[in-house]
């Protein structure tokens, strides 16, 4: 009798919200949590750093190639005598904005192409996937160089070039998710109830296909920052805008004489991209239901 009472009075298990489960899974990944803190600190530097350290990165404040720590300059000066610390602090905002803008553009193009291909199938899928394969086999850096060389090395054009050449991975992931989800029962039930194609695509299927897209988008921010640094190293950058890649590109001729002028911005890029990658891995573990059940 007592056993029956215990069974009847036992409270049913409370179902946890998927977001709470994902956050709990993300918190267990110590590397991802540390990377998130580092990335948050970098974003704070990008937002508030220019106000805390208001030195103009274009001002020639001291003798060229002053080593780090000499004459009060923590990271030294570049070939024109400009404060390297000011350049890195001010460049953080531009580099991160380029990464975010290019990633958003790539995600928009990739999700649009992948969603249309995975939902409609048939000749629509054939045409869009052939276009995707065409962009995928192109050498991305060379293609971006051609775009920037033809239309100018302004900041919007660099962002556009990076976004145009980087969307194929998102398109393939979106297409595969749409192909998997479009045949599930709740999608079939929504179609039978009279839901139009636009509602099925963007209000029913897309929200359930977002987890791998979010992970890929996070990784693409880091890739875009590296892309901009590569273009800048080759001289394809806006000389009137300070970014980490621009600092490396403007000092690339003096890499053997004053290696610190490219080492410090390179470290900034390395730490930022590594943090973004680790956060992306943490998101992958947290948003993947199979990994969440381990």
Domain-wise residue ranges, the chain? 53-292
| Mean pLDDT value across residues 92-121 | 93
pLDDT tens, position by position, 253-274 = 888 888 999 999 999 999 999 9
Contact 118, 174 (CB under 8 A): yes
- How much is the pLDDT for 188? 87
* DSSP states along 44-64: HHHHHHHHHS---TTSB-S-T
Contact 153, 91 (CB under 8 A): no
Q: Which residue has the higher pLDDT, 252 or 5?
A: 252
19-28, 65-74, 112-121, 187-196 — which one is most confidently predicted on average?
112-121
- How much is the pLDDT for 86? 94
pTM equals 0.86
- How much is the pLDDT for 111? 94
Judged against a pLDDT cut of 60, whether residue 293 lies above it is answered with no
If residue 96 lies in a helix (H) or strand (E), which one and from where to where? Answer: helix 84-120
Contact 220, 107 (CB under 8 A): yes
DSSP 8-class letter at 14: P
- How much is the pLDDT for 289? 58
Contact 91, 243 (CB under 8 A): yes
The rounded distance, in Å, linking the Cα atoms of 6 and 16 is: 24
The percent of residues above 90 in pLDDT, for the chain, comes to 48
| Mean pLDDT value across residues 272-288 | 88
Fold of 53-292: MetI-like fold (1.10.3720)
Q: Which residue has the higher pLDDT, 137 or 13?
A: 137
Axis-axis angle for helices 122-137, 168-181 (nearest 10)? 150
Q: Predicted confidence band at 15 (pLDDT cuts at 50, 70, 90)?
A: low
- Please enumerate, as own/partner, the contacts of 190-198 that have beta carbons within 8 Å and a separation of 24 or more: 197/119
The percent of residues above 70 in pLDDT, for the chain, comes to 91
Least confident of 77-86, 146-155, 173-182, 284-293: 284-293
- How much is the pLDDT for 105? 94
pLDDT tens, position by position, 167-208 = 999 999 999 999 999 888 888 888 888 888 888 888 889 888
Secondary structure class of 180 (helix, strand, coil): helix
Q: Predicted confidence band at 52 (pLDDT cuts at 50, 70, 90)?
A: very high
8-17, 100-109, 142-151 — which one is most confidently predicted on average?
100-109
| Mean pLDDT value across residues 41-66 | 92
Distance of CA 293 to the CA centre of its chain: 27
Judged against a pLDDT cut of 80, whether residue 5 lies above it is answered with no
- How much is the pLDDT for 28? 87
């Amino acid at each position: 009798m007592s056993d029956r009472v215990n069974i009847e009075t036992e409270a049913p298990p409370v179902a946890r919200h998927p977001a709470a489960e994902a956050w709990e899974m993300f918190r267990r990944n110590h590397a991802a949590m540390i990377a998130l803190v580092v990335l948050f600190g970098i974003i704070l530097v990008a937002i508030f750093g220019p106000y805390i350290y208001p030195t103009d990165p274009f001002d020639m404040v001291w003798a060229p190639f002053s080593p780090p720590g000499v004459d009060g300059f923590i990271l030294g000066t570049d070939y024109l005598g400009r404060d390297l610390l000011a350049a890195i602090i001010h460049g953080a905002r531009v580099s991160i904005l380029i990464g975010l803008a290019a990633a958003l553009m790539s995600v928009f193009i990739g999700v649009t192409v992948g969603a249309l291909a995975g939902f409609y199938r048939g000749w629509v899928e054939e045409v869009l996937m052939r276009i995707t394969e065409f962009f995928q086999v192109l050498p991305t850096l060379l293609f971006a160089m051609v775009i920037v060389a033809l239309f100018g090395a302004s900041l919007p054009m660099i962002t556009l070039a990076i976004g145009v050449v980087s969307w194929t991975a998102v398109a393939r992931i979106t297409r595969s998710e749409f192909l998997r989800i479009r045949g599930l029962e709740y999608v079939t039930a929504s179609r039978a109830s009279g839901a139009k194609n636009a509602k099925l695509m963007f209000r029913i299927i897309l929200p359930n296909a977002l987890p791998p897209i979010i992970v890929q988008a996070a990784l693409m921010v880091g890739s875009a920052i590296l892309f901009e640094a590569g273009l800048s190293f080759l001289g394809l950058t806006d000389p009137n805008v300070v970014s980490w890649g621009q600092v490396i590109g403007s000092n690339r001729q003096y890499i053997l004489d004053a290696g610190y002028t490219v080492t410090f911005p390179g470290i900034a890029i390395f730490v930022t991209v590594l943090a973004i990658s680790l956060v992306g891995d943490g998101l992958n573990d947290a948003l993947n239901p199979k990994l969440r059940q381990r």
